[in-house]
């Protein structure tokens, strides 16, 4: 059926309209909707009795009707004059929401103070191919259940950056050597971080970030081993760690004598 349709469209209309009709057919099929196949066959048959223009008008009308009905099943009502291009864009966008690679952004847009229609329009602007304004002009009403469904589909844990296996192995080796040289008691902030799921082998800024406030509150005699341990846990090359820790020391409000002691203790551990 689709081969016959494609042949007819290639011979009868512009590439733009041909692509729109064929793409719409495929999007419907991917969504499990196949009622249009039989109906479009009837529309094609019109070409021999009523002419090509009548057949093209009927093809677009048939697909528009199916899309309007299918969108209504999602509790999305559209303006009656909405054209096929916009209907297809709305339907295609809704199908793409579930597997979108940035669900966090879509989830945030479900809470729109301007209403459900604005929320869906903003989401469709991201996942589909028209502007939010064009979608707003087409959307008559969007139910709470539809927005809740999108919120549920996009409310999943976002996986953070994953460390490289080589960087993890290097961090483990450095930490084993450090633990052999210095003792870390149960009150160690770094040990607590490890027990709480600290991931090894990440950039040094990400390794330190969740614990900076606590590090700044540590007693001076704890600081050297804690700073070196967190640095060793990162993916920072070994030869860059002294300079990175020297820069970090500048964030501490310590007397000169304490800074000199901290510097000497860090060098001893490195």
**Tens-of-pLDDT digits for all 270 residues of the chain?**
788 899 989 998 999 999 999 999 999 988 888 877 788 888 888 777 888 899 999 999 999 999 999 999 989 999 999 999 999 999 999 999 988 888 889 999 998 889 999 999 999 999 999 999 999 999 999 999 999 999 988 886 545 556 678 888 888 999 988 888 887 877 899 988 888 878 899 899 989 988 989 998 998 888 999 999 999 999 999 889 999 988 888 888 888 898 889 888 888 888
142 and 258 inside one domain = no
**In-domain check, residue 49:** yes
Residue-number span of the structural domain to which 34 is assigned: 2-154
* Cβ neighbours of 135 (radius 10 Å): 24
142 and 66 inside one domain = yes
Cβ pair 126, 88 in contact under 8 A: no
252 and 142 inside one domain = no
134 and 187 inside one domain = no
**In-domain check, residue 238:** yes
**In-domain check, residue 159:** no
Tell me which of 154, 180, 214 is where a domain ends: 154
20 and 95 inside one domain = yes
61 and 123 inside one domain = yes
26 and 138 inside one domain = yes
Whose CA is closest to 231, among 185, 186, 187, 193? 193
**In-domain check, residue 39:** yes
149 and 181 inside one domain = no
56 and 79 inside one domain = yes
pTM higher than 0.95: no
- Stated as kind and residue range, the H or E segment containing 247 is helix 241-249
Q: What is the predicted pLDDT for the residue at 229?
A: 92
3-state secondary structure of 267: helix
38 and 105 inside one domain = yes
Q: What is the predicted pLDDT for the residue at 163?
A: 64
Label residue 177 exposed, middle or buried (CB < 10 Å: 0-12, 13-18, 19+): exposed
**In-domain check, residue 236:** yes
Considering its fold, how many domains does the chain have in total? 2
Tell me which of 119, 154, 189 is where a domain ends: 154
Tell me which of 154, 182, 212 is where a domain ends: 154
Place of tokens 């844990």: 157
Cβ pair 208, 215 in contact under 8 A: yes
246 and 191 inside one domain = yes
Given the DSSP bridges, would you call strands 139-142 and 76-78 parallel, antiparallel or unpaired? antiparallel
Q: What is the predicted pLDDT for the residue at 156?
A: 63
- Residues 115 and 71: their CA atoms lie apart, in Å, by 18
**In-domain check, residue 160:** no
131 and 191 inside one domain = no
**In-domain check, residue 181:** yes
């Amino acid at each position: 059926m689709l081969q016959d349709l494609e042949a007819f469209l290639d011979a009868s209309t512009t590439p733009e309209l041909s692509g729109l009709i064929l793409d719409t057919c495929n999007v419907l099929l991917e969504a499990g909707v196949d009622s249009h196949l039989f109906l479009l066959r009837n529309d094609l048959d019109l070409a021999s009795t009523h002419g090509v223009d009548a057949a093209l008008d009927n093809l677009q009308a048939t697909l528009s009707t199916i899309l309007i009905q299918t969108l209504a099943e999602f509790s999305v009502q559209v303006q009656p004059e909405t054209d096929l291009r916009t209907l297809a864009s709305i339907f295609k966008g809704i199908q793409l929401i579930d597997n979108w690679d940035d669900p966090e952004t879509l989830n945030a847009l479900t809470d729109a103070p301007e209403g459900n229609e604005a929320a869906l329009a903003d989401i469709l602007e991201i996942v589909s191919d028209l502007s939010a304004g064009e979608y707003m002009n087409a959307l008559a009403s969007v139910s709470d259940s539809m927005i809740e469904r999108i919120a549920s589909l996009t409310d999943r844990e976002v996986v953070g950056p994953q460390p490289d296996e080589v960087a993890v192995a290097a961090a483990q080796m450095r930490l084993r050597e450090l633990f052999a040289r210095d003792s870390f008691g149960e009150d160690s902030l770094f040990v607590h971080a490890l027990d709480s799921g600290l991931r090894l082998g990440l950039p040094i800024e990400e390794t330190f970030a969740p614990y900076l406030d606590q590090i700044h509150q540590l007693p001076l005699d704890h600081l050297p081993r804690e700073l070196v341990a967190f640095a060793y846990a990162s993916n920072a090359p070994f030869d860059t760690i002294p300079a990175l820790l020297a820069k970090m020391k500048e964030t501490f409000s310590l007397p000169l004598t304490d800074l000199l002691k901290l510097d000497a203790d860090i060098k001893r551990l490195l």
